[in-house]
Structure 1
């Protein structure tokens, strides 16, 4: 029976698809073919629904527009005669989800146009409904087969004799080589053979970790990378969010994570190449690994705050307090009779004190510089390592890791030996875990002063070369009663004069 289509309206649900020839069809390509067919049939296409995520029952990412489609059908907001799909599996590979969609369309009188079937299918028609349901069953089974193939590939990579080798997308900072082989089904596939640091990208990764360790904000690193033209794999500047995810990847220390377990990988640490450096200084694998773990502590810190306002501008803002009320002093700007006045620190609460910024900076920074110029300061206020206990733990940890690796590589000759080795491996894994936790406890967290002492002998030049947000951390660290003293700004009426030197009071712990 020929169905009159002229004057009908339709809305598409678009999602990345692979056709029978193995060619991937993007949403844009699907829409182009839909539009051509719709024009031939006299059907008007409305606003489409579009998702990138998988429709597989094994998918983990939500499909926002699919949920919007379902909600629109339930609430009579769909507003069209047809739901247009490239193929049935584009709707869902989950049979239950697909049946729910069919029932909704049947209830609301919405029919399907499936591009690969080249016809309209009505869920109220028994034969059409059977066709659509069989499509769903076939799609779900195909999804199952794909999932099994992927899991087999992952397992093969994890059990590779050289350790877990590359699988999935090659991380930024590395380059990967492949070989063409045949899989268990006889299909020709590309299998990764080697993953090694790409010197140019790897330098950016090393810089990212060292700068986070030094106290730089993600936003400031993002701005610097963008200004220098450092881009990601897609040729676009890397966002702070992207770099935050990169900073969590154990791949950069030659490890990989599988179901919560950290495994040795076949690829080397990102710093394992000739010329690896930061700030003009060579970087070793051991040093980078240490920095990596320090960065994890920084990112795990619940008190860590991220500045979303575009970056800190004044080192001492918030580091001093108003003497009358105890509120922090922040930088403000005023005009008198339309003329801009010199910037000043002002009580952030009631505005009960105000003091010239330039004069105050000269005095307070002078005290900070004099203190930091002392040779004993760095050791005195930088957290020290665990000393001999840390060295002993690390030595024992190296022995246990080697023992564990050797145990895992032994091929048992009998069932009894296999059980014995399994018990030994479990015990060693537990001991290694305990030692790693103790090593983390004994390893000091990074100090913002580390960045300051990396720049050279002249303290003022080092300060100028340090990002403002790190300067602010250092000022707040030092301007405390236990170290240099808490700086309080007094009222002019409570001071010997209106000069900053008379209005600044240094409150010490004793």
Structure 2
């Protein structure tokens, strides 16, 4: 009776997802089964999956389930390394095959009868060579990655915003590379940062990039998996990709090695920076606000009313205001009003309120002393930033000392573990002193051009300006009834960083 063979194939890396490697292995396995008088009853494969880490392999688990069910007499692989690389998984697999009376036959290797002690011993010995091969390769890869990090070079493909230029020797062999600024992609990076700091929402920027047909990072690269809603060629942007591009340290010429691990390093990158450090810090602070994307009153991409992001407040009960359409529909007098969303204490014509608030803000922007007041600092923020920069320099020096073999890897880890909490504390203190990320927008529109700039802004951008200047806009209750708009019913509470009148009138 012919042996019932189960052929198993595995490839560790297949970035393009072509599966050509597993197809070749399966074909070779079929040929060996036929030459040994066997019959292939099932085929299993895992493409682009490593066996070293013990990660879940669906094909392998299906194979072992077939073994447990008594459906297979022999497993055929190209090499035993295709079956196991991980020591724990190998030991478990050998026992499972011993119990089922299943042997392993390799196209390029021996046949292992795992029901015998010598067969299990040979499987263990061959497996140790397989494991060691992977671990040694991993050590080489890790050491090369560390060297690239210490030199500030990219680890892998060129980052979005730069283009790679290779160096060649006299025989046209690649001897190195240099990442230079990409004129097109670098401008997109700057545009994203500039628009975020200008008060535009991530959704607005994302939709605009897609509408203009701007290719997203990685467009044209073949991948097995794409984000939901992404096109097959990866050309579309989403909010996550826009956010990542805007906030990555690479934009200011910094390279992070082993992010989040005990040996994490921050070094100066070999590529040129694309944006200024102040703009980077501002945009990181902006998109890192914990309630920016989740709180109901802090979703600029979903709101179109000036005061409905938490700035508008009922002057009677303190509740937020929302916009509701009220009035007499028979006479065509229905209009949007700012109303108290708590008890309905107040209601005021939205257009008149927005016009009044805009007029008062523009007048405030014309004040010649406003710039000095807005940028006033007691020195605490500068001191925290200086301390953070000093700690980063010490970390960089430690990395250089390790590269020069002045200190050991253990010493580098101890230095990093000690300095990282101090760096985090300094950065936290600096953020506490940090001014609004939209301050630059306000400073750029100050003076006589304030009215013209305000008129050309979207509601989201106007709200960004208000977030710098205004704490609250309170809608007060009025005693009189009748037509007309009473400016005295609107109270603008300015930020405490400069003089704030209790009531601003027209």
| 1:328 CA drift (Å) | 0.8
Count of residue pairs the alignment pairs up: 445
Kindly provide the CA deviation profile for residues 135-191 of structure 1, in whole angstroms up to 9, marking residues without a partner as x. 6433321211211221332344356xxx4334323221122233579xxxxxx9955
- Aligned ranges 1:398-477 → 2 under 5 Å: 440=430, 444-454=434-444, 458-477=449-468
1:379 aligns with 2:397: no
- Aligned ranges 1:135-154 → 2 under 5 Å: 136-154=127-145
Q: Distance in 2 between matches of 1:339 and 1:113?
A: 84
Q: CA 1:91–1:298 in structure 2 vs 1: closer, same or farther (change >3 Å)?
A: farther
The secondary structure found in structure 1 opposite 2:444 is: coil
Q: CA 1:359–1:239 in structure 2 vs 1: closer, same or farther (change >3 Å)?
A: same
Q: Distance in 2 between matches of 1:200 and 1:373?
A: 36
Q: Which residue of 1 aligns with 2:236?
A: 237
Q: Distance in 1 between matches of 2:198 and 2:381?
A: 26
Q: Distance in 2 between matches of 1:91 and 1:466?
A: 62
1:359 aligns with 2:343: no
| 1:213 CA drift (Å) | 3.7
Q: Which residue of 2 aligns with 1:322?
A: 314
Q: Distance in 2 between matches of 1:25 and 1:129?
A: 36
Q: CA 1:385–1:172 in structure 2 vs 1: closer, same or farther (change >3 Å)?
A: farther
Q: CA 1:451–1:136 in structure 2 vs 1: closer, same or farther (change >3 Å)?
A: farther
| 1:68 CA drift (Å) | 10
The more displaced of 246-255 and 438-447 is 438-447
The secondary structure found in structure 2 opposite 1:192 is: strand
| 1:52 CA drift (Å) | 4.8
Kindly provide the CA deviation profile for residues 65-85 of structure 1, in whole angstroms up to 9, marking residues without a partner as x. 5389769979x9x99957998
Q: Which residue of 2 aligns with 1:171?
A: 159
- Aligned ranges 1:259-274 → 2 under 5 Å: 259-270=263-274
- Aligned ranges 1:238-387 → 2 under 5 Å: 238-258=237-257, 259-270=263-274, 288-299=276-287, 301-302=289-290, 304-305=292-293, 310-317=301-308, 318-333=310-325, 336=329, 341-380=334-373, 382-384=374-376
Q: Which residue of 1 aligns with 2:227?
A: none
Q: CA 1:140–1:255 in structure 2 vs 1: closer, same or farther (change >3 Å)?
A: same
Alignment RMSD = 5.6
Structure 2 residues not aligned, in runs of 5+: 221-234, 258-262, 494-500
Q: Distance in 1 between matches of 2:135 and 2:244?
A: 30
In 2, are the aligned partners of 1:30 and 1:86 still within 8 Å (CA)? no
Give the TM-score, by structure 1 length: 0.65
Kindly provide the CA deviation profile for residues 287-313 of structure 1, in whole angstroms up to 9, marking residues without a partner as x. x13322333444555555466785332
Q: Which residue of 2 aligns with 1:56?
A: 52
Structure 1 residues not aligned, in runs of 5+: 19-23, 182-187, 272-287
Q: Which residue of 1 aligns with 2:491?
A: 506
Identify which of structures 1 and 2 has the higher relative contact order when contacts are C-alpha pairs closer than 8 Å and 6+ apart.
2
In 2, are the aligned partners of 1:55 and 1:93 still within 8 Å (CA)? yes
